[in-house]
Every structure is written in C-alpha cells, then in structure tokens.
Structure 1
Amino acid sequence: MPTTEEQLLHAASECIRQQGIRRTTIEEVARVAGVSRGTVYRYWPTKEALVAAAFSRATAEFVQESVAVIDAEHTLIDRIVANANLVRTYVPDQALLGLDETEPETVALLLTRDLPLLMVPWIELWVPYLEAARDAGEVRADLDVRRAAEWLLRVLVTTVTTPAVTVDLDDPDDLAAFLRAHLVAGLA
C-alpha cells in the first residue's frame, strides 16, 4: 500500500498532467488523494514545493526506467540509442507530466532555467556507464565522465525538445543511425 506521501505525489502528478501547474491547487490535490488540505501542507508548505517534489518523483521514475533499458544493452552507443528512444517516447508524457500539452511555456522554463535541478539524477545515472565504456576502450582514456554525462544529457534533451531537420525522430532506426554516426565521436 502506498504511503500518504506517495499518494499525494501521485495525485499532484495527475492534477498537473490534467490541468497544468497554474490550475492545480492544493485543494484539488487533497481531493484527488482523498485527504485534507492540512495533510498536504504537512508534507509541503507551498504549492511550489509540492510541484517540485512531483517533478523530482517523475525524474526518479524516469531514471529507474532508463536503468532497465540501458542495462539491457552492452555497448555505450547501444545504451545511448536505447535511452534516446525511451527519452523520445517517455519524457513528454511522463517526466514532464504532460505539460508539453497544457503549458508549453512551463516546459521551456523547466528545460532552461530549471534544467540543472533535473539533470543531477540523470548525470549520476550515466557516470558508471561512461566509466565502464572508458575502461573498455569505447571512449578516450582521459574522458571526464561527469562532464561527458552532462553533455550526453544535453544532447538527449535537445533531441526530444527541438524539431528535427535531417532526422526523423519518430523513427527509432533513423534516430539510432543519427546517434551512431555523430554522438560517440564526441566522446572518442
């Protein structure tokens, strides 16, 4: 059975997904969770804190999904390609809680001003894979894996959030070919 905190975060995520951040209220989150407003306030003193917690939870869930996808592959490029396809399909609805539909301007802020907060778990996710690739000789021996992880994340975020000109991002094979041709060269 989920904890009260988990129930509240789930309710907040659902409210944000359905109505956006601006129209989501503490009262609505409490109603959806089946608790009082006071219960919500015991966990988060403000709506902003609740929203931040909902996004942190969504990011953590994405990292968990990514681990499963990445671990199924054996080379760095295969791991990157698999994760890129997950990012392309998962992030807009799940990690961004559907805000690309309800509040695209908020997504722009999340992916610019607030991106460093969302990046930390993703960077931590990629560091061991980049270290393993370095140890296996897939990338250069002097690679700064933390900086490379940030660069990789920035490439993946850009892939999802900007329209493509020469690659069909909805075609997993075309996306894979694009990444294979250009991405690992930046790490080699």
Structure 2
Amino acid sequence: MTASADADSPNGTRSVRERLIDAAEACLRAKGIRATTVSEIAEAAGVSRGWLYRHYPDKASLLGAAIVRLNNAFWTESNQILSGCDGFEEQLAVGVRLGRSAYDSPGALVMQLRRDEPEEFAACAGAGVQGLVPDLGLFWRPYLEAARDRGEIHADTELDEAAEWVARVEISLGTVPGETLDPDDHEAVLRFMQRYVLPGLRVAPPHR
C-alpha cells in the first residue's frame, strides 16, 4: 500500500485516523482491550503498522482515542433519551434501563470495558474518564438541578452529593441482583424511584 493511498483524504472519505478508530472500536467490541493487537487494528483499517504508528505512538493511545469517542457517544445518546422523559422520576427509571443496555448500545461499550478490564481501561483512557461514579455523578447533576428548579426535589438539595448518590443508586440497580425488584421491569423501577429515591431528595437536607 502506498503512502498516497494511506494519506488522510479531504474529499468526503474517512481519514486514516477515523478508519483506525473505527477499526479499534470494532476490535474492542469483539475482543476487549487486552486481546486486541495493533496488527489487527491496522489490518482492519487497511493500513500498515508503520502508517498506524505515524498517527498513534502505541496501542494505548489508539485505544484511548477510541474509548474517548465511545464515551462521548454514550453520554450524547443518553442525554438525547433522557431529555425526552417526562419528569425527573421517569429520567431516573430510564437511567437504569440505559445502564442495563450496556451490551446492546455501541456507545455504552465503554461502560462494559471499564467494568470488565478496569486496569487496562485506566491505562488506555487515562485519568480523565476512568472514574465511573464521578462520570455518572457529573452526568446526573444537571438533571438534578433542573428537577430542583421545577420543584421536584428540595430547594436546598446539595447537588454534587445528591448526584453522586443517584449515580450509586443507578449503578446498584443496574448491576447488582436482588430479590424484590426486577431492573428490567420499567414500571417496577419507576415505583422504586417514587417510593424510596424521590422521597430522599424531597426532604430538607440536615444541617452539618
């Protein structure tokens, strides 16, 4: 393959970087981080290993770029879905479903990788996207703020603390089996939010 064939194209075709990230995502989906090799990515992208290294110095930096794109896709997709929900309690219930769909949604692959290969994920993604609870807390904070402004939760709710608590609830409901709640039953999850989670957010927080 010649350099001209490998060069980034400005005329509508996907650039080498885009093709490499596409190939990296496909390999991550099929094999995970540990089992993916640079040679496989280069072959899938239709470039030589030497040309791959012109764009990314090592496997970690290439997979890191793919993970960042996946991460952005997950939050964008989730925001679009939750923005169409009617009220905060519905958003909370749908959030559990989004977490449960990690194996089905391309954007949510990053959640699966973070859970299944945490050390490899941290090495590739870097400190910026490796913390699941902080990420989810930041994601839920604007929804809590909007719920507070609409009067759905208490006006004095400490948003950062509440966002972390909501993140932990969502993770627990989506991943830890229980005996009284089916996390795949949307109506049951909604009732759980109405009975237990929302009341905790509607009372005045205690003074420290």
**Matched residue type, 1:153:** A
Matched, 1:74 2:93: no
Q: Which residue of 2 aligns with 1:168?
A: 182
Matched, 1:179 2:193: yes
Alignment pair present for 1:149 and 2:163: yes
- Tell me which amino acid in the other structure corresponds to 1:73: C
Match of 1:92, SS state, is: coil
Shift of 1:109: 8.1
Within 5 Å, give how 1:62-101 maps onto structure 2.
Answer: 62-89=74-101, 91-93=102-104, 94=106, 95-96=108-109
Which of 79, 86, 106 does residue 117 from structure 2 map onto? 106
2:70 and 2:165 map into 1 onto residues whose CA distance is 21
Amino acid at match of 2:67: F
SS of the equivalent of 2:131 reads helix
TM normalised by structure 2 equals 0.73
Instruction: Give me the whole-angstrom Cα distance separating, in 1, the residues matched to 2:96 and 2:59.
Output: 32
Q: Measured at CA, do residues 64 and 98 of structure 1 come closer, stay the same or move farther in structure 2, by a change above 3 Å? A: closer
> Shift of residue 118 of structure 1?
4.3
Q: Is residue 67 of structure 2 the alignment partner of residue 55 of structure 1?
A: yes
Shift of 1:137: 1.5
Structure 1 counterpart of 2:58: 46
TM-score (norm 1): 0.80
Which structure has the bigger radius of gyration? 2
Aligned AA (2:43)? R
Alignment correspondent of 1:127: 141
Give the residue type in structure 2 aligned to 1:59.
Answer: N
The gaps in structure 2 that reach 5 residues or longer are 1-12, 203-208
Which of 16, 33, 39 lines up with 1:21 in the alignment? 33
Q: 1:7 to 1:119 in 2, by over 3 A?
A: farther
Structure 1: 5+ residue stretches without partners: none
Q: RMSD over aligned Cα, in angstroms? A: 3.0
| CA distance in 2 between partners of 1:164 and 1:42 (Å) | 50
Tell me, yes or no, if the aligned pair for 2:34 and 2:120 is still in contact at 8 Å: no
- Cα offset, 1:99, TM superposition: 5.1
Partner of 2:43: 31
Query: Can you list the C-alpha shifts for 1:97-155, whole angstroms capped at 9, x where unaligned?
Result: 5957xx975269869xx875345554333222211111122112122222322222222
Match among 13, 23, 26 for residue 11 of structure 1:
23
Shift of residue 169 of structure 1? 1.6
Query: Is the CA contact 1:69–1:83 (under 8 Å) kept in the aligned structure 2?
Result: no
- Percent identity of paired positions between Structure 1 and Structure 2: 35
Q: Provide the secondary structure at the position in 1 that maps to 2:103.
A: helix
